[in-house]
Amino acid sequence: MKFSSIVFGVLASCIFFTAPSENAFAANPTAPSGVNSRSGLGDGTNPGVGQGRVNSPNSGTDNPNNAQGMQGGHVSNQSETHLVLARTGHRLVKLTDGRVLIVGGVSRDSMAIAQCEIYDPSTKLFSLTGSLVDARIDPAVVLLKDGRVLAVGGDAKPAIVSDLGPRWGTSSTPLATCEIFDPARARWSRTGDLNHARRLPEAILLKDGKVFVSGGVDTDSRGDFRTNLLGDGINGTELFDPSTGLWTEGPSMLSPGGPYSVAVPGQRWGHRMVILPDGRVLIAGGFWRGPEVASIAMTGCDIYDPITNSISAAAPMNQGRARFGLVDIGGRILAISGLYTEAEAFPGATYFGTTNKVELYDPQLNHWDIVRPMAPPGLFDFSVISPDTDLALVFGGATDTNFSAGSNDPGIFFIDRQYLVATADVSAYHNVFNTWNVVGELQMRRSFPFSNGSALVVDVGFGDFFLCGGIAAPDQFSRTPSSLEYGIVLDSAERFNF
């Protein structure tokens, strides 16, 4: 179960994945009796397993390891609801009036999308709204305190291209431009440019209303798309002030990525950020990427302090990971699954696989604890949300199923059937009982290449969680032989009720 990132030639590997032992799981305090009012999770899970499938209208045949005392979810009546435009590499933002804004992405014909859409949960319908000034793929998108929406950077050209589905791209054009959407006028307008063009940046709203941006990928100075992962990782940060529309340079990140990252630490993409209870920002994991070196999944974490405008090192994770999930769950931070470095053959050649390891960060202790893992082999490029203080929900995602020799890079979505299968599972982690359970299934097996999963699912109320677009599993389509090789960019949407 490996992916190979190779600069010269093709390598084969025989490295075996071994799941962590039961003794490696940190024990949670004894859970109180009863059932959580929001999640329906009880304490009757299968002892010694901690991972089960809950019966639901979409969960298939009974599983002897089903968790008892746990309510299953189901897909709401959304089978006839479709985006105006099929897209992946988009972002979702819940507006202050409850509607959902769908921003950017790449289409089935491999074009960056400028047209944006509005989803109205009350009517369950989509409509076009104002278009972006600059079509962009994989931007960072933030809801500002005044209700406007900021779109940051992204890519002007697709890293994945498609006829029936995604394949290799041929170039990348990271954007420095940014723009703001005014819901009252349904219009986008340009604002100040970033100091550093960024593809796949991460952005987060600070408590003072400013926006903090970190990492991403820059232009490819060597002009070799396939071997350089679209350029080098970025170690710099920036701050946006909505009152002035200007960006200022922030401090550089510190985390080392591996033996070749000593010269330029902090160069990362595929990382995640979350606001801590005290207003600081945790920057976790990601791929380190530097000159002449393949991407290395990082354990390193940093903390940004808005008061002092400084970055300091935080405790590293136990597992290096990138393109993973990171959510606040009751004041502690849950890091979920993702891609990790399995073996380093030589500088510029690295094997990757999915990890099912999960860990929990305590900001007061500055410490990560291993908790119950997901079912092997794990996931990446999924969507994730924490609807209350005890629960995290994971929707869809991709996982490797078997290994075949080849030369692929973790920067590209591995849609070839030899490497990937997308899943329809919806999984729930309960913090009190330290358990994972599959609580239902989506209508489509979908994953979200490159995307920050927290920006791809929205709580639209009444226990409904909204998702749209992404990439479908290859075997869900059979119009032509080639459609079995490549996934399909989706136009479907669904609401999962839990």
- Residue range 40-47: average pLDDT? 32
The phi-psi region of residue 57 (left if phi > 0; otherwise alpha if psi is between -120 and 50; otherwise beta) is: alpha
pLDDT for res 320: 93
Q: How far apart are CA 412 and CA 459, in angstroms?
A: 29
pLDDT for res 337: 96
- Residue-wise pLDDT tens digits, 298-316: 999 999 999 999 999 999 9
Within 10 A of 383 (CB to CB), how many other CB atoms are there?
Answer: 27
Q: How far apart are CA 334 and CA 368, in angstroms?
A: 9
261 pLDDT higher than 90 = no
Tokens (6 digits) for 442 = 């989506």
- Residue range 117-135: average pLDDT? 96
Q: Which region among 93-102, 216-225, 334-343 has the lowest average model confidence (pLDDT)?
A: 216-225
Q: Which region among 106-120, 142-156, 175-189, 439-453 has the lowest average model confidence (pLDDT)?
A: 439-453
Q: Are 433 and 457 within 8 A, CB to CB?
A: no
482 pLDDT higher than 70 = no
- Residue range 190-209: average pLDDT? 96
pLDDT band at 290 (very low <50, low <70, confident <90, very high): low
pLDDT for res 262: 55
pLDDT for res 293: 55
Which of 291, 228, 232, 288 minimizes the C-alpha distance to 255? 288
**Global pTM?**
0.83
Tokens (6 digits) for 302 = 């940093």
pLDDT for res 54: 54
Mean pLDDT of the chain: 76
5 pLDDT higher than 50 = no
Higher pLDDT, 446 or 404: 446
Q: How far apart are CA 333 and CA 156, in angstroms?
A: 33
Q: Which region among 70-74, 212-216, 297-301, 442-446 has the lowest average model confidence (pLDDT)?
A: 70-74
Q: How far apart are CA 492 and CA 400, in angstroms?
A: 24
222 pLDDT higher than 50 = no
350 pLDDT higher than 90 = no
- Residue-wise pLDDT tens digits, 60-110: 322 323 333 345 777 664 445 899 999 999 999 999 999 999 999 988 888
pLDDT band at 359 (very low <50, low <70, confident <90, very high): very high
13 pLDDT higher than 80 = no
pLDDT for res 297: 87
- Residue range 201-228: average pLDDT? 77
The CA angle 142-145-150, to the nearest 5 degrees, is 30
pLDDT for res 171: 58
- The contacts of residue 30 (CB under 8 Å, 6+ apart) are none
Q: Which region among 39-53, 146-160, 317-331 has the lowest average model confidence (pLDDT)?
A: 39-53
pLDDT for res 60: 32
pLDDT for res 250: 98
pLDDT for res 263: 57
The CA angle 181-211-151, to the nearest 5 degrees, is 30
- Residue range 423-449: average pLDDT? 92
Which of 30-39, 234-243, 398-407, 451-460 reaches the highest mean pLDDT? 234-243
Which of 219-223, 224-228, 235-239, 467-471 reaches the highest mean pLDDT? 235-239
Tokens (6 digits) for 391 = 């629960």
Query: What domains are there in the chain, each with its CATH number?
Result: 3-19+45-88+107-136+260-497 (2.120.10)
pLDDT for res 474: 53
